[in-house]
Amino acid sequence: MKHLTDIKSLSKTAILELFGSAEKISASNITTTKEWHPGKSAIALFFENSTRTLASFQLACQRLGVDVTALNVANSSTQKGETIKDTVLTLNAMQPDIFIVRHHENHSQDKIVDWIGQDTSVINAGDGSNQHPTQGLLDLFTIWQHKQQFSDLNVTIIGDIKHSRVANSLIDGLKIMQTKEVVVYGPDAFIPEHLNAQQASNMDSALLDADVVVMLRIQKERLPKDFNIDFNQWHLHYGLNTENLKAAKPDAIVMHPGPMNRGIEITDEVADGKQSVILQQVKNGVLMRQAIINRMLEL
C-alpha cells in the first residue's frame, strides 16, 4: 500500500490483514513498537478541524517510532496566500515519508499524489464529503471485534448520509467485506441519489433486526449557511434513544464516528449505554492507523 486515498482501493484480503496487524499491535508493548520505524517521518496537514483523527494519527506515529509534525494551518503561510500545491511541494522538499491530509475539497489527496509522485505516501484523513478511509477501516475493525464476520450482518446507518465521508467509506468497506445488508435512513434531502444501500422508510424499519447501528451527525459545515434545521424535529424523527433501539437485535452495537451532537442524533442514555462502542472506535482509531502506517513503511 503506497497511498490510502479511498477505501475502494483495498481488497477484502488487504482489510483482513490490517485487522490482523491492528490486533498484533494491540498485543504488543509500546516500547517495542516504538523501535519499528526509526528515522521515518510524517507530516499531518489538516485544513479542517479535527480532534480524534489528528490526535490518533499523531499517537499512531509516535507509537511506531515515526517522527510526526502537525502543521498548524491557521498559523501557516497558507494564510499569506500560499496555495495548497505550493504548501505541499514545500513540505515535500523536506523529505517526509508520509503526508496525512485532511481537506474540505473532494479528491484533494488525489491531486497531492499527482503533484508529489511516488516517493512520499499520502493518507487521506478526510476529503470534503467524499472519503474518510481510515475511519471506515477502524469502524470495520470495531464491527469485526464484536461480530467476527460480515456475511450475516444487518448494518443500519442513520442521519446525514449525503454529506458524510464517513458513511461513504463505511458503506464501500461493508460492500468489500460482503456484508449481508446495509440500510440507510434519514430525511430525503440528506440521502444521496446514488447509493449502494437500501433506504428505509421510517426509523422502526431502519432499526428492525439491526446488528450494528451507526449514527451520524448533521454535517453543518457542508450545508448552505442559511439552511435551517429544526434540531428538535430531527431528534424526534431521526434520533436514537433507548426505546427505538429495542427494534434492533438485543446484542446490537451502537456506533458513532464522532463528534457527537448529544440530544440530536443520539441520547445520552444510548451514547453512554452498554451497547455503545463509541469509545472503542476511538481506541481502535490509534491501532488501525498504526496498522496502516506500518504497512506503508514496511514496503
Q: Which is nearer to ligand CP, 135 or 290 (CB)?
A: 135
- Our finding on whether 187 is near ligand CP (CB under 6 A) is no
- Our finding on whether 294 is near ligand CP (CB under 6 A) is no
> Residue 168 to residues 11, 63, 81, 157: CA-CA distances in angstroms?
16, 29, 32, 11
Question: Which positions ≥6 away from 115 have C-beta within 8 Å?
Answer: 85, 88, 89, 92
222 class by beta-carbon count within 10 Å (0-12 exposed, 13-18 middle, 19+ buried): middle
Give the total of residues touching ligand CP (CB under 6 A). Answer: 10
Q: How far is the CB of 215 from ligand CP (least distance, A)?
A: 12
- Our finding on whether 280 is near ligand CP (CB under 6 A) is no
* Residue 169 · residue 135 · CB < 8 Å: yes
Q: How far is the CB of 126 from ligand CP (least distance, A)?
A: 6
Q: How far is the CB of 135 from ligand CP (least distance, A)?
A: 5
Tell me the β-bridge partners of 121: 98
Separation of alpha carbons 203 and 244, rounded Å: 8
**Which of 8, 52, 175, 235: binder of ligand CP (CB under 6 A)?**
52
* Residue 15 · residue 143 · CB < 8 Å: no
Q: Which is nearer to ligand CP, 136 or 186 (CB)?
A: 136
- Our finding on whether 257 is near ligand CP (CB under 6 A) is yes
* Residue 159 · residue 229 · CB < 8 Å: no
Separation of alpha carbons 294 and 22, rounded Å: 10
Among the residue ranges 33-41, 148-156, 198-206, 255-263, the one whose residues contact ligand CP (CB under 6 A): 255-263
218 class by beta-carbon count within 10 Å (0-12 exposed, 13-18 middle, 19+ buried): buried
Stretch 132-151: interaction string toward ligand CP, x if CB under 6 A: x--x----------------
- Our finding on whether 273 is near ligand CP (CB under 6 A) is no
**Which of 53, 156, 164, 267: binder of ligand CP (CB under 6 A)?**
53
The runs of H, that is alpha helices, within the chain are 12-27, 30-33, 52-63, 84-92, 108-116, 133-147, 165-176, 203-207, 231-238, 268-271, 278-298
Q: Which is nearer to ligand CP, 34 or 52 (CB)?
A: 52
Among the residue ranges 140-148, 185-193, 225-233, 253-261, the one whose residues contact ligand CP (CB under 6 A): 253-261
Q: How far is the CB of 256 from ligand CP (least distance, A)?
A: 9
What part of residues 32-51 is at the interface with ligand CP (CB under 6 A)?
Answer: 50-51
- Our finding on whether 175 is near ligand CP (CB under 6 A) is no
Q: Which is nearer to ligand CP, 116 or 161 (CB)?
A: 161
Q: Which is nearer to ligand CP, 154 or 276 (CB)?
A: 276
Q: How far is the CB of 102 from ligand CP (least distance, A)?
A: 8
Tell me the β-bridge partners of 185: 158
DSSP letter at 200 equals: P
Separation of alpha carbons 52 and 73, rounded Å: 17
**Which of 187, 192, 258, 273: binder of ligand CP (CB under 6 A)?**
258
Task: Put residue 263 in one of left, alpha, beta given phi > 0 → left and psi -120 to 50 → alpha.
Answer: left
Interface contacts to ligand CP, rule CB under 6 A: 50-53, 126, 132, 135, 257-259
